[in-house]
Chain A
Amino acid sequence: MTNPVWKNIVFFVFLVLIQVLIFNNIQLSGYINPYIYVVFILVLPFETPNWLLLLSSFLLGLCIDFFTHTIGIHAAACTFMAFCRPGVISYLSSSKNIEPGMKPSIRDLGFSWFLSYSIILIFLHHLLLFYLEVFRFNEILLTLTRVIISTFVTLILVIIINYFFFKTK
């Protein structure tokens, strides 16, 4: 289990299962759908080749799609998020040096870096996801409210998971 590839595959399956079995059933006032599984795309190591990043995100989205009967929607949103990831990293990391072996986590890069990094990516993911799900423009403000509220709930869960899995030294 020391091999990072195996570790990530287990993490992948684990996230899909807790998303579809637990978080899809969470009921918070009807506006909030936390999509915790995106944490997989957030915490993939920096050395991950770009093709693997895109492909694994696409597969992750597709797996969620199969369980929620929304074929293609999560896949599209995840692929978009993965596509934006390298850009966001280079935009945010101009002041910080990323050394080999580092992971995008609170432990390695600090709380404020991780907060802005995940808030941008989660927001982009939720934006595409919720608008694709509605697929029409006459509920544009209602959907935006749902995007913003869900982004914050997902963010809180992502930070909790980050403290959980990447313990501080």
Chain B
Amino acid sequence: MRNLFALLRKHYFFFMFIILEVLSFSLIINHNNYPNTVFFNSTNQITGSTYRLFSNISEYLSLRKANLELAEENAILRNQIKYAFVVTDTNSFLYKDTLFRFISAMVVNNSIHKRNNYFMLNKGKKHGVKPEMGVISPRGTAGIIISVSKNYSTAMSLLHNKVQVSAKIKKNNQSAIVIWNGRNYREGILEDIPTHINLYQGDSIITSGNSFFFPEGILIGIVKKHERQFEENLNKATITFATDFNSIKHVYIAKNLMVGQQREQINSLQND
């Protein structure tokens, strides 16, 4: 026993190094399966208020641009109000059931240059935000909430290797998947395009509505380059993201009101 202690004391530097590395790696691994975000919730409050202090300053500098973007969005929304349509036959005017509610939020911290990028929003549990809600910017899809504290929430942006957005090609409703390859924050990859589909530069890629996160028809990006390879079953294309992640500031959190029922359905299917 005494020899053991002597050995430990002699090489304590090495053993301590091993212990600390094991600790870090267990943190990395625990963190990588992402519902396990206990750490976030405890630290969100501190880091969130530090970031907000400095974000307030930079907000002032980009107010003009933010105003412009919001005004543009207002115009689009105005076009969708009931009085913007000519109602010829009131009986056939169809209202869809509300499926999504939107909570407006501000980005207080953002990254784009990592392999896995996150941004933090100034809305939290108090405002009804929950994990696994989608985040959209005025221009298009932005990310998915992964953890929530009382006043803040953290979302992984589309610039993350765990995010796959279920998408479809607007012109022909063919479904595909959007991922990010870690190179350029402006460009994503559209995967699993059937070989018989031909895409052209400028074709719109929108959300499919198959996932719980995003409503159907939100713009993800537009096609930049499509290379067809005939020997493979499914093709890839490069798209330009609709959202400029570098200047993202005002966003909306999409709250799916039916998520519980949808989950239940899927679980009952899996149990059978």
Contact = CB atoms under 8 A, between A and B. Distances in A.
Contacts, number: 95
B131 to A, nearest CB: 14
B105 to A, nearest CB: 17
Q: Which residue, of B16, B26, B39, has the highest number of chain A Cβ atoms within 10 A? A: B16
A30 B24 contact: no
B28 to A, nearest CB: 4
Interface residues of A, number: 36
A26 B209 CA distance: 36
A151 to B, nearest CB: 16
B213 interface: no
B13 A51 contact: yes
Given A30-B184, A30-B185, A71-B31, A24 B17 contact: no
B24 A72 contact: yes
Interface stretch (B77-85, B111-119, B165-173): B111-119
A73 B118 CA distance: 15
B21 A80 contact: yes
Interface string B32-45: 10000001100100
Nearest to A31: B113
A69 B40 contact: yes
A31 to B, nearest CB: 8
Interface in A29-61: 30, 32-33, 50-51, 54-55, 58, 61
Contacts of B101: none
A44 B14 CA distance: 19
A65 B116 CA distance: 13
What is the predominant secondary structure among interface residues of chain A facing chain B?
helix
B17 A27 contact: no
A86 B112 CA distance: 35
Contacts of A134: 115, 182
B200 interface: no
B119 to A, nearest CB: 9
Contacts of A137: none
Contacts of A163: none
Nearest to A28: B113
Contacts of B28: 71-73, 76, 132
Given A27-B113, A66-B47, A69-B118, A54 B20 contact: yes
Contact of A24 (B26, B29, B111): B111
Given A51-B13, A133-B114, A135-B32, A75 B24 contact: yes
Nearest to A82: B17
A72 B31 contact: yes
Contacts of B114: 33, 68, 70, 133
A68 B111 contact: yes
Contacts of B183: 30, 142
Given A72-B31, A76-B21, A139-B182, A50 B13 contact: yes
B102 interface: no
A90 to B, nearest CB: 13
B27 interface: yes
17 contacts: A24-B111, A30-B113, A30-B184, A32-B113, A51-B12, A54-B20, A66-B47, A67-B50, A68-B118, A70-B116, A73-B24, A75-B23, A79-B24, A133-B114, A133-B116, A135-B115, A136-B161
Given A67-B50, A135-B161, A142-B183, 16 more contacts: A24-B111, A27-B113, A30-B112, A50-B12, A50-B13, A55-B16, A66-B46, A66-B47, A68-B111, A68-B118, A69-B154, A73-B24, A82-B17, A83-B14, A135-B32, A139-B182
* Closest A-B pairs by Cβ, 9 of them: A72-B27, A76-B24, A72-B28, A75-B24, A83-B17, A71-B31, A69-B118, A72-B24, A50-B13
